Structure 1
Amino acid sequence: MDAGAFVATLPMYDWPEVRAANDELWNCLRVSLRDHGFPAPERLERGEPADDLWRSRNLVLGQTCGLPFVRDLMQTVSVVGTPSYEIECGAGSYFSAIVVRNDSDIEDIADLKGRRLAYNSPCSQSGYAGLAYHLRDLAGDAPIFSEKIQSGSHRESVRMIAGDKADVAAIDAVAWRLAQRHEPAASGLRVLALTEPLPGLPMICARNNGWSVDRMHLAVVEAMATLEPDIADALLLNGFAPYSESDYSVIARRAERAQGVAL
């Protein structure tokens, strides 16, 4: 098959500071995928919206958020597995860090009532739905927050809090670790609480009768084993968990409960 007709995307943690490391990861993945018979393209696709790439019938490998997966993608993609990261969490799992400014008078969850929330996207498990589930005991007739501001990214949420444009945000644990390394504004923030762990951001491929997901999983495992230690460290990678579609049902259940929480 002509690999040029296919696409791959790893957009979820593709910060400028680690973009070269992501390219090196893809180089390893491309070689291994081709060795196992898959039509892996030469380079990652960064010019198209992630939503479009996730739905492409030519998607060889991508990474998505758990919430879009359970809401929109389950009928058109397969889960290849889930990367494990150096975030002090179980293999293939992650959580959100609920962060506030260092000088904030917010000391516990109850103090969040009436504050300003920054969130990356309403379609985000880590930045929105997971927070709503975590705060479900605070829910009442009135919204919990006085203002909700869509920032567009976890990194921008961190900057907004540091700049006193918001008071709190829930940040994906991997993004929070990257922010601590690469975003100066993170030094002005502290962690108020952690949400409960959930399956992390899955790697997916388009459903294709000619593709063995088990063989693709093996190809990814073998590729990650060839990563140079400095590349793995830059991306916080430490393995690849054999998660499948059924492991993400917990996200669907919690998202359903979170829908009743007025943030």
Structure 2
Amino acid sequence: MIASLAMYDWPQNAAENDRLWIRIRQALADEGIAAPEGLTRDGSLWDIWECPALVLAQTCGMPYRTRLHGRVQLVATPDYGLPDAPAGHYYSVLVTRADEPGGFADFVERRLAYNDPLSQSGWAAPQNRALLFGRGFTRTLRTGAHRDSARAVAERRADIAAIDAVTWRLIARHLPDLAAQLRLIDHSEPTPGLPLITSPGQDAATIARAVGAAIAALDSVDRTATGIRGLVAIPSEAYLAVPTPASPTEEVPAD
């Protein structure tokens, strides 16, 4: 058995995520579903997501629609209570350096730092927004993580980055010196948030009920640390309807 909540699981909030998992595990046990004692925090995310023994994991919308759909079951979507977004939805904040002038359209020809080409928030969201202007990002820098994309912009190795709004909350809370070096210039259109998934052999509806009960039982400290406000049922069709842009074609070295 395996479980992971890796998408927003930072060292700074690991204890709170562990307590959330304890609540989920107990709620699953109450439903007669066995689950691992602890969360898996190492190894490949793809190995976790595609593991036949997966009980519960959080993935990103783009991996779900491009590779995981039909191979895993959708459980439900955590709601992080983001302003200007429907429940269970999220968006990317588009950031540049605090002293850099201009709006989003001024940066489409400049270097975009992105975490991964299969990231909805880091790659698909800014590229889809650029396409609204009839353009697209061609100068890119792959960083491997939203935090590193933010650092790349602050350090002038890139000019703009799209940061998952929930991750931006974590940056503002835990890395305030980094956040202070950046300026928000726009945000992308809301799309379905990061879904919880399970393996094909599990009872997804029962797991969703258990997770919902565990989230409802969170105390104020853990609710603030995790940011989770509730659980929402978003159909797979809503995830599949989000446009998938072409992958980055060129990595332009930083000057």
TM over 0.5: same fold?
yes
1:191 alignment partner, one of 184, 203, 209:
184
1:134 alignment partner, one of 129, 132, 142:
129
AA partner of residue 235 (structure 2)? S
Task: Report deviation, 1:159.
Answer: 1.1
2:230 aligned partner = 239
Aligned-pair identity in percent equals 38
For the aligned residue pairs, the C-alpha RMSD in angstroms reads: 1.7
| Inter-partner Cα distance in structure 2 for 1:139 and 1:157 | 24
The answer to whether the 8 Å contact 2:111/2:137 transfers is: no
- 1:175 and 2:167 correspond: yes
1:203 alignment partner, one of 196, 206, 224:
196
Task: Report deviation, 1:217.
Answer: 1.0
| 1:59-98 matches, cutoff 5 A | 59-88=54-83, 89-98=85-94
| 1:139-158 matches, cutoff 5 A | 139=134, 144-145=137-138, 147-158=139-150
| Inter-partner Cα distance in structure 1 for 2:184 and 2:96 | 7
Q: Find the residue that maps to 1:231 and give its secondary structure.
A: helix
AA partner of residue 147 (structure 2)? R
Q: Find the residue that maps to 1:61 and give its secondary structure.
A: strand
The answer to whether the 8 Å contact 2:112/2:137 transfers is: no
1:74-119 CA distance string (max 9 Å, x none):
12111110000032122100000011111002x2222114312110
The answer to whether the 8 Å contact 2:121/2:162 transfers is: yes
Task: Report deviation, 1:227.
Answer: 1.1
TM-score normalised by structure 2 residue count: 0.92
Q: Find the residue that maps to 1:71 and give its secondary structure.
A: helix
Task: Report deviation, 1:179.
Answer: 0.6
Q: Find the residue that maps to 1:237 and give its secondary structure.
A: coil
1:250 aligned partner = 241
1:19-67 CA distance string (max 9 Å, x none):
1111111011110011111111100011221110000000000000000
1:128–1:110 distance in 2 versus 1, CA, 3 Å: same
Runs of 5+ unmatched residues, structure 2: 251-255
Equivalenced residues, count: 248
- 1:115 and 2:110 correspond: yes
Task: Report deviation, 1:259.
Answer: 2.2
The answer to whether the 8 Å contact 1:95/1:196 transfers is: yes
| Inter-partner Cα distance in structure 2 for 1:206 and 1:14 | 21
1:215–1:101 distance in 2 versus 1, CA, 3 Å: same
| Inter-partner Cα distance in structure 1 for 2:72 and 2:235 | 11
1:226 alignment partner, one of 213, 217, 237:
217
Moved more, 169-178 or 239-248: 239-248
The answer to whether the 8 Å contact 1:118/1:148 transfers is: yes
| Inter-partner Cα distance in structure 2 for 1:36 and 1:58 | 18
The answer to whether the 8 Å contact 2:117/2:248 transfers is: no
AA partner of residue 128 (structure 2)? Y
Q: Find the residue that maps to 1:12 and give its secondary structure.
A: helix
1:155-177 CA distance string (max 9 Å, x none):
11111111112110000010011
| Inter-partner Cα distance in structure 1 for 2:247 and 2:36 | 42
The answer to whether the 8 Å contact 2:114/2:146 transfers is: yes
2:98 aligned partner = 102
Runs of 5+ unmatched residues, structure 1: 1-5
TM-score normalised by structure 1 residue count: 0.90
